[in-house]
Amino acid sequence: MNAYIFPGQGAQFTGMGQDLYDTSSLAKDLFEKANNILGFSITDIMFNGSAEDLKETKVTQPAIFLHSVILAKTLGENFKPDMVAGHSLGELSALVAAGALTFEDGLKLVSQRALAMQKACEKEPSTMAAVLGLDDDIVEKICATTEGVVVAANYNCPGQLVISGEVKAINNACEALKEEGARRALVLPVGGAFHSPLMEPAREELAAAIKNTTFNKPSCPIYQNVIASAVTDENEIKANLMSQLTAPVRWTQSIQQMIADGATHFTEVGPGNVLQGLVRKINREVETASAKIANNS
């Protein structure tokens, strides 16, 4: 069975999407439509902006979403997923690719999500850290016993977990994790504590927008971050999406469940190949690939 997976923040690079724009009239139309919806030329920033320009949350999230969704749309008949999943932001890309959301509504939600997260980040100093080489339960235990807000945020693959929270609590947890034997506990260059209780103001803002958006039944099951299992019901999809910003990304568990449900081939749709690497660390038996541009679309 074919699974299609969609990346989240961090996969951006200068020049992303330019090849799509140049080779596909469908892609060009969608990029131009995106510029109109967003009210600024995101294509200029994607194709010509510096790494610094692309790092801004309000740019990064729509840029990655557009690259993923437009690439999926140019695949045409070749895009036949039996199941989909997306890492954090990528979940919205997956929902559009699977027909649960229109392109326009998906982009508007991504833009609102980015601005709401940006606002929440400015409220108090917060960050995230990557923890390598420890079992999940040890990381969870140290988070639970560290003073302040610090939680497990991204279960990326066995032995790689990202924690999220207040700056001081993250620094203290990193020290404790190193003492516990972590190979690395490294603070990440991110703007805030994504997938933690500190995102509650953003979650509330986005939940209101999600509530007012029409969702359709997807063409195949989507494995959502919050519950790591297959969902096809529109109302359930909405509810899980509303919880996503303050809940952990259960990527390891999602991929394991997709494999248990029959996935043998994972295609990453969007910039980069980070998710393929994570899938291979979760299970060496499955095949992975990057989606390739279909010409003449």
Q: Cite the active site residues.
A: 88, 195
Q: Any alpha helices (H) in the chain, and if so which ranges?
A: 18-23, 25-38, 42-48, 51-55, 57-74, 90-97, 103-123, 136-145, 167-179, 200-211, 234-243, 251-260, 274-282
Strand order in the sheet with 265-268: 230-231, 222-223, 83-86, 2-6, 265-268, 287-290
User: Which tokens go with 157?
Assistant: 């693959």
In this structure, what token pair is assigned to residue 264? 């043998």
Other Cβ atoms within 10 Å of 280 Cβ, number: 15
Query: Does the CA dihedral 193-198-202-207 come out positive or negative?
Result: positive
Tell me the backbone φ, ψ of residue 38, rounded to 5 degrees: -80, -25
